[in-house]
Structure 1
Amino acid sequence: MGGAPRVVVATGQELPGMDWAGELADLTDAWPYLGPTWLAASEKALTDLQPWHTVATRARDELALLPGYVIGSPPVVDHEPRTYLGWQAPSGEEVCCGAQTDSCVSDEIDALGTEPFFPALLLGSPLGYRTEVAYNFWTPTLLGQMVSALVPAAFEAGIKCVVAPWISGRSGNEALPQALDAAGGHSTFWGYEDFLRLDADSWDGHLAALPLKKRQRIKSDVRRAEAAGVVISRVDGGAIRPYVTRIAELTCLNREKNGAGEEPGHIATVLSALLDAGADVRAYLGTKDGELVATCVAIRKHYRLFPKWAGFDYAAIGERSGIYFALVLDAPVRDAYAEGLRTVEFGAGAHQAKVLRGCTPRPVTTSMVLADQDLRPRAAAWLDAFGASRHVAFGDAPAPARTQLPVIPASGACCSQG
C-alpha cells in the first residue's frame, strides 16, 4: 500500500543523539542554537532547567525538534514568563531591548503570585533566544501537530504556563503562534532580529551599493575604531581556547549593561562545547595597548554566518569608539563576502543601528498559553499591552502621553548578535 509515512510526535523527550557533523548533514538549515550540540551545552550550563523536548519523526532519519525546558521557579527575567506580560522584576531587570511597562499591570500580575505561572515550559533555546523547530522534513501541518500534542501533554504533566518567547518571522514559522493561539494562547509583538543578504559580488561592491549615508556611517565606524587605538584580528577554532574566559567576561559586561542575565560560566560552557564538537567558530578580537578589550564570536553553518556574542570593556574604549560596529558588523561581513557566504544573521539587539548600516529586520513574536482558562483573557490583554510597549521601544509608534516607554540604550547587543 502507498501513502505518505505517518508523523509520530513524542513530548517530554531528551535531546536526540546527533553530533555537529550530523547537524551539518541532517539539520542543514536549522539555526545552530537549535541543534543538539548547542542545546546539550546549554543544559550543562543551566542545570536548574529540566529538558522537555517535543520530537516528531516520520520515515527513517526524518526528525523535527522543538526544544523545551521546564522552569520550576522564577528564573532570570529573559526566561521568566511574567515579564512578557509586562511584569517588572523587583530587581528592576528587564527583558532584552526592554521597555518600561505600566506599573499597575505589573502590580496586578504580582498580586497573583507565582502559582498560575509555574512550573512553566519555555519553548526554544534559552541561551540562543530562539523559539523554532529544527527539522529535516516538512509537511504543512507539522508545526501544528507538534503544538497540538505538546500543550495538552504539558498541562497534564502539571505545567501551568507554556511560553514561546522568540518566534522569528521566517517563512513557515507563522504556524507556531497560530497553533499556540489555537491551543488557547495569545501572541504579541516582541521585537526585531536583523540580517544581511550578501547580494553584492564583494565587500567593496556591497559598500558601493549602499545609500551614501549608510556607506559613510560604516566608514566612520572604522575610522573611529582606528582612532581609539583598537586593533582587530581574528582567531578560529581551537585557537580561541586561550580567550574563552575573557570572551565570557566581556560578553557579560555588555549584557549586564543592556539588561540580560547570562553569567560568564554559561557562555564559557557553551563556547567550549562548540569548540570540542568541531563547530566552525571564529572570534574577532579587539586589542588596545596589548589588552583584549572587545570580542565578537560568530558561528558559520554552511552558507550563513551567525555573530552571537559581543563584549566590550567600555572603561578602556569609551562609549562612542565605533568599535561595536567595526568588530560586530563590518569585520564578519567582510569575511563572509570573502568566503562566498549568502547571509549574515545578526539576531536581536541594537536594531536601529543595524538597519542604519544596511540590515533587514524580521519581526519576532511571543506566544503564551496558560493552563488557567479563566486567566487567559486577562493575560491576552496584558500581552497586547506589552506588545504595544515593545513597538514604542523599537520606534514603530509614539509613546502614549500618559506613559513613558524609553528604549534601553543600544550601544551593544543584549540577547544575541541571536
Structure 2
Amino acid sequence: MSADPQLRLTIVPTIGDVPREQWAPLAARAQLYQSHGWLHWAEEYFADLRPGYVLAYDADGALVGAVATYLMTEVPTRFTTWYDPVRMFLAPHCDPAGAAERWFPVLLVGGCSGYHGDLLLAPHLDDEARTVVTRALLDRCRDLAADLGARTTAFMYLPKEEAQRVATVWGGTAPVIATSAEATVALDGATDFEGYLSRFPSARRSKLRKEVTAFADSGTHLGQYRLAEVLTEVSPLLGGHQRKFGAEITDEEVGRYFALQDKHLGEGSVVFVDERDGRINGFTLCYAHGDTLYSRSAGFNADASPFAYFNLAVYAPVRHALATGLRAVALGAGSYQGKVLRGAQVHGLWSTVVPPQPLEESWREALTKPFPQAVEAGTA
C-alpha cells in the first residue's frame, strides 16, 4: 500500500472524522475547495456521491497527506455535471452512446466541486517525502476504485504539471487532457483601487473608470452582506441564471444549496449586491480563504444596473481584497476575455483519467482532444 513502511494509510467516510486543526495545515496553501468547510459542504450537499478521504500518517501519527474521493454511481444532472467524464471528455468529440454504462461508476479523486482539484501534503515535507506520500495516496486511490467497483478513475481540474504527475503514477492508459482554466487577479504591488487601476494603459484605465462611474451614477447602492443576510433574495437570481443556461433547478433547490454553504462557510462569506429601493437586482458571492478572495456565484435580473456584472464580480471584490489584506481575487472559469481585460491572468487546468478497458477507438481518440472551454481560454 505504500513505498514507505513507516507511512500508515487509512480511509475515513466523512471529513468530520478529521479534526479541523489537523486538516488546516495541509489545506492552508491549497485553494478554498480543499478547506475543511468547503469539503463538509460538498459532502452534505452532494448526498448522492459516496465520499471517502484517503489519509497518510507518518511514524509519529501526524497527518502528512490527504486526498478526497467521491464515488459517482450515476450520470449527474445537477452541479456535478462538469465532473462527468463522458460529458467532458467524449461528448464534444464523438458519439458517446453507450458510454455511461461502460464508464460508470466513476471514482472522482481530488474533489467534486469548485473546478480545482488537489492532493494535500504537509508543508514541512521535503521533495523526496512529498513524492513518497503522493505515490502512496494515489496508489491507494487506485486500490479504492477497484474495491468499490469503479470502472473509471478521474482526477480533474489540476495544473498541467500536477496532472502529469498523477498520470505518471497511475501509468498505462491515463491520458492528460486540457479541460478548463481559471482566471485570477493578482494584487501584489497595489495598496488601493487606484493602484489596481494604475497597472492598465491609459485608454483601458479610462474605460474601466467609466464602468465604475456608470454603475454609481445609475442610482443603485452597492451593498455588502454576509450570505445569511441575503440568502432568500439571491437564491432566485442564481436559480434564474442556472435555468437560462439549461439547468433544471428550482429556486428552492438553490436556497438549500446556499443554506448549506452558509452553515459550513458563512463566516468567510461576502456578498456584493446591486440594490435599488430595497430590492436586490444582482449579486456576487465570494469566500475568503488564505490570501485569496474566491468569486463563487452570481446572478442578475433584467433591472440590474449598467455594468453591474463587472462592478460586483471584479471591482467590488478587488476593493474588498485590498481593504482586508488579501493578495488575489480568483474569478473562476469562463468569460475569459472580459476578465483578462480587467487584469486577470488565465491558468490552464488539466485532468487525467483511467478509462474503462477495452476502449473503443473513437473514445481513445477523443481522450487526446481538449474540452472546448480550454480552447476558449487559449490554454489547450
Q: Under a length normalisation based on structure 1, what TM-score does the superposition of the two structures give?
A: 0.78
Point out where structure 2 has 5 or more consecutive residues left out of the alignment: none
Q: Hey, what's the Cα distance between the residues in 1 that align with 2:365 and 2:255?
A: 37
- Structure 1 vs Structure 2: percent identity of aligned residues? 21
Q: Hey, what's the Cα distance between the residues in 2 that align with 1:86 and 1:354?
A: 28
TM-aligned CA deviation for residue 227 of structure 1: 4.6
Change in Cα spacing, 1:128 to 1:20, as seen in structure 2 (3 Å) is farther
Asked whether the 8 Å contact 2:65–2:134 carries over to 1, the reply is: no
Which of these residues, 205, 211, 221, is aligned with residue 231 of structure 1? 221
TM-aligned CA deviation for residue 27 of structure 1: 2.7
Q: Hey, what's the Cα distance between the residues in 2 that align with 1:220 and 1:117?
A: 50
Asked whether the 8 Å contact 2:293–2:330 carries over to 1, the reply is: yes
Equivalent residue number for residue 252 of structure 1: 239
Q: Hey, what's the Cα distance between the residues in 2 that align with 1:377 and 1:113?
A: 13
Equivalent residue number for residue 27 of structure 1: 27
Equivalent residue number for residue 323 of structure 1: 308
TM-aligned CA deviation for residue 297 of structure 1: 1.5
TM-aligned CA deviation for residue 73 of structure 1: 1.3
Cα-to-partner distance string for 1:210-252 (whole Å, 9 max, x where unaligned)? 223442342232133235443211124xxx3131133233223
Q: Hey, what's the Cα distance between the residues in 2 that align with 1:260 and 1:130?
A: 21
Which of these residues, 340, 347, 351, is aligned with residue 332 of structure 2? 347
Equivalent residue number for residue 363 of structure 2: 379
Q: Hey, what's the Cα distance between the residues in 1 that align with 2:192 and 2:5?
A: 45
TM-aligned CA deviation for residue 355 of structure 1: 0.8
Which of these residues, 361, 368, 372, is aligned with residue 353 of structure 2? 368
Equivalent residue number for residue 48 of structure 1: 48
Asked whether the 8 Å contact 1:185–1:370 carries over to 2, the reply is: yes
Query: 1:211 is matched by which residue type in structure 2?
Result: P
Equivalent residue number for residue 377 of structure 2: 394
Equivalent residue number for residue 133 of structure 2: 142
TM-aligned CA deviation for residue 301 of structure 1: 2.0
TM-aligned CA deviation for residue 12 of structure 1: 6.8
> Residue 118 in 1 paired to residue 109 in 2?
no
Q: Hey, what's the Cα distance between the residues in 1 that align with 2:293 and 2:152?
A: 34
TM-aligned CA deviation for residue 158 of structure 1: 0.7
Change in Cα spacing, 1:151 to 1:22, as seen in structure 2 (3 Å) is closer
Equivalent residue number for residue 202 of structure 1: 192
Cα-to-partner distance string for 1:111-166 (whole Å, 9 max, x where unaligned)? x2422111111223323222112333441343333222212331242101112231
Specify the SS of the correspondent of 2:177: strand
Q: Hey, what's the Cα distance between the residues in 2 that align with 1:18 and 1:299?
A: 22
> Residue 167 in 1 paired to residue 158 in 2?
yes
Q: Hey, what's the Cα distance between the residues in 1 that align with 2:287 and 2:324?
A: 13
Change in Cα spacing, 1:265 to 1:127, as seen in structure 2 (3 Å) is farther
Specify the SS of the correspondent of 1:367: strand
Comparing 214-223 with 7-16, greater Cα deviation is found at: 7-16
Asked whether the 8 Å contact 1:202–1:338 carries over to 2, the reply is: yes
Query: 2:366 is matched by which residue type in structure 1?
Result: W
Specify the SS of the correspondent of 1:114: helix
**Cα RMSD for the two superposed structures:** 2.8
Which of these residues, 203, 207, 211, is aligned with residue 201 of structure 2? 211
Which of these residues, 215, 229, 243, is aligned with residue 242 of structure 1? 229
Query: 1:62 is matched by which residue type in structure 2?
Result: L
Asked whether the 8 Å contact 2:186–2:327 carries over to 1, the reply is: yes
Query: 2:84 is matched by which residue type in structure 1?
Result: E
Which of these residues, 176, 181, 185, is aligned with residue 174 of structure 2? 185
Specify the SS of the correspondent of 1:306: strand
Q: Hey, what's the Cα distance between the residues in 2 that align with 1:378 and 1:7?
A: 41
Specify the SS of the correspondent of 1:327: helix
Cα-to-partner distance string for 1:158-210 (whole Å, 9 max, x where unaligned)? 101112231235x7565234434x25311211121011211223221121122
Change in Cα spacing, 1:140 to 1:22, as seen in structure 2 (3 Å) is closer
Asked whether the 8 Å contact 1:45–1:269 carries over to 2, the reply is: no
Which of these residues, 136, 150, 155, is aligned with residue 146 of structure 2? 155
TM-aligned CA deviation for residue 26 of structure 1: 5.2
Query: 1:329 is matched by which residue type in structure 2?
Result: V
Q: Hey, what's the Cα distance between the residues in 2 that align with 1:392 and 1:275?
A: 33
Query: 1:187 is matched by which residue type in structure 2?
Result: V
Specify the SS of the correspondent of 2:102: coil
Asked whether the 8 Å contact 2:33–2:117 carries over to 1, the reply is: no
Q: Under a length normalisation based on structure 2, what TM-score does the superposition of the two structures give?
A: 0.85
Point out where structure 1 has 5 or more consecutive residues left out of the alignment: 88-100, 398-418
Cα-to-partner distance string for 1:42-76 (whole Å, 9 max, x where unaligned)? 22212211113322222433242221111111112
Specify the SS of the correspondent of 1:52: strand
> Residue 295 in 1 paired to residue 283 in 2?
yes
TM-aligned CA deviation for residue 308 of structure 1: 1.4
Equivalent residue number for residue 317 of structure 2: 332
> Residue 84 in 1 paired to residue 88 in 2?
yes
Equivalent residue number for residue 308 of structure 1: 296
Change in Cα spacing, 1:394 to 1:54, as seen in structure 2 (3 Å) is same
Equivalent residue number for residue 131 of structure 1: 117
Asked whether the 8 Å contact 2:49–2:70 carries over to 1, the reply is: yes
Query: 1:133 is matched by which residue type in structure 2?
Result: L
TM-aligned CA deviation for residue 366 of structure 1: 2.0
Cα-to-partner distance string for 1:70-92 (whole Å, 9 max, x where unaligned)? 111111232322012232xxxxx
Change in Cα spacing, 1:10 to 1:19, as seen in structure 2 (3 Å) is closer
Asked whether the 8 Å contact 2:295–2:329 carries over to 1, the reply is: yes
Asked whether the 8 Å contact 1:148–1:183 carries over to 2, the reply is: no
Equivalent residue number for residue 176 of structure 1: 166
Equivalenced residues, count: 364
TM-aligned CA deviation for residue 329 of structure 1: 0.6
Query: 2:230 is matched by which residue type in structure 1?
Result: Y
